Structure 1
Amino acid sequence: MSRRRRVGIAGAIVGTASAGLAAAALAKRYAVGRIRVRPDLEASEPFGELRGRPVTVKTSDGVELYAEVDGPEDAPLTVVFCHGYTLNLDSWHYQRQALRDTHRLVFWDQRCHGRSARTSAEDCTIDRLGADLAEILKALVPGPCVLIGHSMGGMTVMALADSHPELFGAKIRGVALISTSAGKLAELTLGLPALISKAVHLVAPATVSVLGRRGALVDRGRQAGNDVSFLVLRFFGFGDSSSVSPTVVDFAESMIRSTPTDVIADFYPALMSHDKLAALHVLDKVPAEIVVGDKDWLTPPDHSKAINAGLPSARLTEIQGASHLVLLEKPAEVNDAIAELLRRVQDAGAAGAVEGRAG
């Protein structure tokens, strides 16, 4: 075969491949464009703009945690919000809106997330997050409180129960666990066939580790955001992707993008090895709500049902059509569950007061 012919064939192959990539990119831009031109009821929502009184809490290992206190200072009950993996305290936007006029609220960025300080990979563990939460309560919550945890934040609450069981029933009067797990995250299929899922779990730790070591380089490519990340998050993070607001997806994606790649890599092993099933009995001392979307790929309903089995007094709410970011996707339903928890806590407090007077 002549050199000219080989070059021609190679050029045709490259040209065909380039045309295919260009067509795929055009299709992607077309899909995102169609999504963005739909009516968006959340387009003017002030995501990331709701603020409280800023506070810094320095932990026992010297890490400065950023927190905000919102709502009336004289409210009898404080609600403490613990956000999820790769998110920050702004993820509780709708819950802050619903409660800031009636309850004292504490929001905090978990270490290495949001405005909180970075730390070494060795200190990126769920147990350390539980210790951080204990220090947040000591510094910012003088009276009784309720804990609300989403995803990794729910694991933080479980770690606190494991290390400080004496707080539950005394200082801590209620708990909500939203889209979270007590363990066995390494066994998730992510909706993939069994063999593919097994292969993904085999290569994921090494892949995440490599990305972490090249975090600065990867982050430079993430900062601008792109259509791929928008579409992937819309698919995995939200259940009914046909109706979710593009503004909400952009807001969630911006929080994830602001979390450095090496932080994502540092916490990944802790999430995969998390196992606090044995600590759930501690939470049974107080009213508890468990909330999960029925289309959650990342912490599926079976994980919430396993928590419910270990926490039989809890009320389980499975929200139809919602996925992992249910607090942003279906805020009304999540807020209803939190309101029910606060009502149960109030009723339990009133019953306890009556019993105390009778005694």
Structure 2
Amino acid sequence: MQAVSSFVTSDGVALTVREAGPRSASVTVVFAHGWTLDGGSWDDLIALLTRSARPARLVAIDCRGHGSSGSARGGAATVARYADDLAETIGRLVPDGPIVLVGHSMGGMAMMALGERHPELVRGRVAAAAFLATGAGRFDKSIDRVPGLRAALPVAVGLGFRAHRHLPASMRYRLVERLLFGSRADRTAVERTAGEMRRADPRSVPSFGADILRHDRAGYLDRYAAAEVLVAAGSRDRLCPPPHSRKIVSHLPEATLVVYEGAGHQLSYERSEDLARRLAGLLERVESDRTA
């Protein structure tokens, strides 16, 4: 059972927070979801982890402009502000103790931005991290070859996102499955993902999307050098294919890289059981180090 609450950030946005597991646990997992999704994308993993022999405290936020959190106000729909919101969430809800950060897609990028903007938090508190279906380098290498495309991109993304929201359900599901899932996609997972996308704020999504294309934070991955790191990708991910994960590992050579054959972008749905097993292993090792 998850408890849902909210708090107001330093710039006045109400963020929704989902919590599970014992608050007295010695380790806390903080989840950061991907673009157009929300904290519900972690439900399967959270349910599995709460059944672990030694469950941790589990905290998942709805990024501003996503889920039931408030809209991202002018200029605040950025990966950097997402990182600041993670820092504020940790400061308010997890003021002490070791943390395991888990980020998917844009959430993993926010973790890199957390290292950029709050290095003392990462170095001092983050004992382990998992970067799922994400990337560290720029995604916009070809954009500047087309004059005016960069400026027009937020408008184009916004129009496309609004159009997608108004398609018949069957067509939306097919598009979501094609773009975000690998082979043999589970129908319920596709429908849940489409539902999260419909809840995202169409005023915020385009600016986040444009900022993702500017994301270039490989140089800050070394802030996680002291943490145990898991990097995972799907072999059929069309948005962040495995070379993006391999680039992350090139900056964190002690990290464990897992490529899930046949999986797409939605690893928390497609490979939840194996991810839960690997995260439980991370938690056990963090707890062992803490008591050693």
Normalized against structure 2, the TM-score is what?
Answer: 0.90
**Cα deviation, residue 235, structure 1:** 1.4
Alignment match of 2:11 (pick from 61, 69, 88): 61
Q: Which amino acid aligns with 1:85?
A: W
Alignment map for 1:133-212 (pairs within 5 Å): 133-142=86-95, 143-187=97-141, 203=149, 206=152, 208-210=154-156, 212=158
| Rounded Cα–Cα distance in structure 2 between residues aligned with 1:253 and 1:320 | 23
| Rounded Cα–Cα distance in structure 2 between residues aligned with 1:282 and 1:137 | 17
| Rounded Cα–Cα distance in structure 2 between residues aligned with 1:132 and 1:235 | 31
**Cα deviation, residue 198, structure 1:** 9.2
Alignment map for 1:8-23 (pairs within 5 Å): none
Q: Which amino acid aligns with 2:83?
A: G
> What is aligned with 2:71?
118
Q: Percent identity?
A: 33
Note if contact 2:44-2:268 (Cα within 8 Å) is conserved in structure 1.
yes
> What is aligned with 2:173?
230
Normalized against structure 1, the TM-score is what?
Answer: 0.74
Note if contact 2:83-2:111 (Cα within 8 Å) is conserved in structure 1.
yes
Q: CA-to-partner distance for each residue in 1:154-182, whole Å, 9 max, x for gaps?
A: 01111111111112343221111100111
Alignment map for 1:332-343 (pairs within 5 Å): 332-343=273-284
Alignment map for 1:244-259 (pairs within 5 Å): 244-259=185-200
| Rounded Cα–Cα distance in structure 1 between residues aligned with 2:105 and 2:128 | 17
Note if contact 2:114-2:122 (Cα within 8 Å) is conserved in structure 1.
no
Note if contact 2:72-2:204 (Cα within 8 Å) is conserved in structure 1.
no
Q: CA-to-partner distance for each residue in 1:265-308, whole Å, 9 max, x for gaps?
A: 12111100001111000011111100111111101100000000
> What is aligned with 2:29?
79
Q: CA-to-partner distance for each residue in 1:13-51, whole Å, 9 max, x for gaps?
A: xxxxxxxxxxxxxxxxxxxxxxxxxxxxxxxxxxxxxx5
| Rounded Cα–Cα distance in structure 2 between residues aligned with 1:247 and 1:179 | 20
Structure 1 residue 318 corresponds to structure 2 residue 268:
no
Structure 1 residue 93 corresponds to structure 2 residue 43:
yes
Q: Which amino acid aligns with 1:270?
A: D
* Greater per-residue helix proportion: 1
**Cα deviation, residue 312, structure 1:** 1.0
Q: CA-to-partner distance for each residue in 1:240-259, whole Å, 9 max, x for gaps?
A: 1xx22211111111111221
**Cα deviation, residue 62, structure 1:** 1.2
Unaligned stretches of 5+ residues in structure 1:
1-50, 189-196, 354-359
| Rounded Cα–Cα distance in structure 2 between residues aligned with 1:346 and 1:200 | 51
Note if contact 2:48-2:273 (Cα within 8 Å) is conserved in structure 1.
no
| Rounded Cα–Cα distance in structure 2 between residues aligned with 1:208 and 1:321 | 31
**Cα deviation, residue 262, structure 1:** 2.5
Note if contact 2:35-2:209 (Cα within 8 Å) is conserved in structure 1.
no
**Cα deviation, residue 328, structure 1:** 0.4
Q: Which amino acid aligns with 2:175?
A: V
**Cα deviation, residue 327, structure 1:** 1.1
Q: CA-to-partner distance for each residue in 1:199-252, whole Å, 9 max, x for gaps?
A: 89975862541563x69xx74872564322211211121111xx2221111111
Q: CA-to-partner distance for each residue in 1:138-197, whole Å, 9 max, x for gaps?
A: 011132211110001101111111111112343221111100111222248xxxxxxxx9
Say if 1:275 and 1:222 are closer, same or farther in 2 by CA, change over 3 A: same
Note if contact 1:233-1:253 (Cα within 8 Å) is conserved in structure 2.
yes
| Rounded Cα–Cα distance in structure 1 between residues aligned with 2:151 and 2:186 | 32
The 4+ residue runs of structure 1 with deviation greater than 6 A are 197-202
Note if contact 1:81-1:108 (Cα within 8 Å) is conserved in structure 2.
yes
Relative contact order (alpha carbons < 8 A, sep ≥ 6): 1 or 2 greater?
A: 2
Alignment map for 1:298-313 (pairs within 5 Å): 298-313=239-254
- Using the TM superposition, name which of 124-133 and 335-344 deviates more: 335-344
Q: Which amino acid aligns with 2:134?
A: T
Unaligned stretches of 5+ residues in structure 2:
none
Note if contact 1:77-1:104 (Cα within 8 Å) is conserved in structure 2.
yes
> What is aligned with 1:47?
none
Q: Secondary structure at the match of 1:280?
A: helix
**Cα deviation, residue 342, structure 1:** 1.9
Q: CA-to-partner distance for each residue in 1:32-76, whole Å, 9 max, x for gaps?
A: xxxxxxxxxxxxxxxxxxx52222222111111110221112111
**Cα deviation, residue 336, structure 1:** 2.4
> What is aligned with 2:80?
127
> What is aligned with 1:192?
none
Say if 1:347 and 1:314 are closer, same or farther in 2 by CA, change over 3 A: farther
From the CA coordinates, give the structure whose radius of gyration is larger.
1
Say if 1:85 and 1:254 are closer, same or farther in 2 by CA, change over 3 A: same
